[in-house]
Amino acid sequence: MQIKGQNVVIIGGTSGIGLATAVAASAAGANVWSASRSADKVALCQSNYPDIEFSQVDIHDPAGLKDLFEKTGKINHIVGAATGANRTMVPFMEQTDEQFREAFNKFWGYTNVVRQGAPFLVEDGSITLVSGTPARKCNPGMSSVSCTGNAVEGLVRALALELAPRRVNGVAPGIIDTGMFDRLGDNKAAALENIGKGILLGRVGAAEEVADGIMLAIGNPYMTGVVLDIDGGALLP
């Protein structure tokens, strides 16, 4: 399935996996609208990628999302890649109720994307949501992330039934080299190299490799209700 000339909207598309997907879709000839809540990132990306239409919108702003989708008009594909939440990486019994609930803001953000965007999808269009491998292989201290991922993947399967013939899929990245690790500063490269030693393929992944999975979910007209794992084998025992 070729996406040249098709309209693709990416929420959470100014950094990491979302930006890599926007660049890949644009390179494939799609008309791409890419949005995030960061005005600074929007301005920087618009300067660096003039062929993509960037805009500022928060995944928790239904009215703003609706305005973006209305501006796009007929939509062929929607990608939800925004985190939309602060995640506390501590054991469940050490988290406050507020911290645990906060992680689910990613899920609630995705429900906004679907509710506001689905009415603008063409009949053979698609929605792709980004989950993560902790949904099915959770390390200690990641209970809220795991539960959120399970909710997202459950939503994918439920919506595939309800929105058919429109397609709904998910992509679950493993450990990916993105800005999420920038907090490590000068230690980032060494830390990711060390993490990669515990992964079957011997390294962490790149945002572009996850984008390839999203492009497959977008482009395969016979794929729906599926979660693609792009994790270097991390889910294997």
- pLDDT tens-place string over residues 52-93: 999 999 999 999 999 999 999 999 999 999 987 888 889 999
**pLDDT interval class at 237 (50, 70, 90):** confident
Does residue 237 form part of some domain? no
Asked if pLDDT for residue 1 goes beyond 70, the answer is: no
Number of domains in the chain: 1
Q: What is the pTM of this model?
A: 0.95
Q: How far apart are CA 80 and CA 152, in angstroms?
A: 11
Report the pLDDT value the prediction gives residue 181, as an integer from 0 to 100: 85
Q: Residue 190 maps to which CATH number?
A: 3.40.50.720
Does residue 210 form part of some domain? yes
Percent of the chain residues topping a pLDDT of 90: 91
How high is the mean pLDDT of the chain? 95
Q: How far apart are CA 164 and CA 125, in angstroms?
A: 10
Mean pLDDT across 20-43 = 97
Report the pLDDT value the prediction gives residue 194, as an integer from 0 to 100: 93
Chain CA centroid to CA 135, Å: 14
Does residue 234 form part of some domain? no
Does residue 153 form part of some domain? yes
Does residue 224 form part of some domain? yes
Evaluate whether 103 touches 202 at the Cβ level (below 8 Å). no
Evaluate whether 135 touches 149 at the Cβ level (below 8 Å). yes
Does residue 211 form part of some domain? yes
Q: How far apart are CA 86 and CA 98, in angstroms?
A: 11
Residue ranges making up the domain that contains 218: 7-228
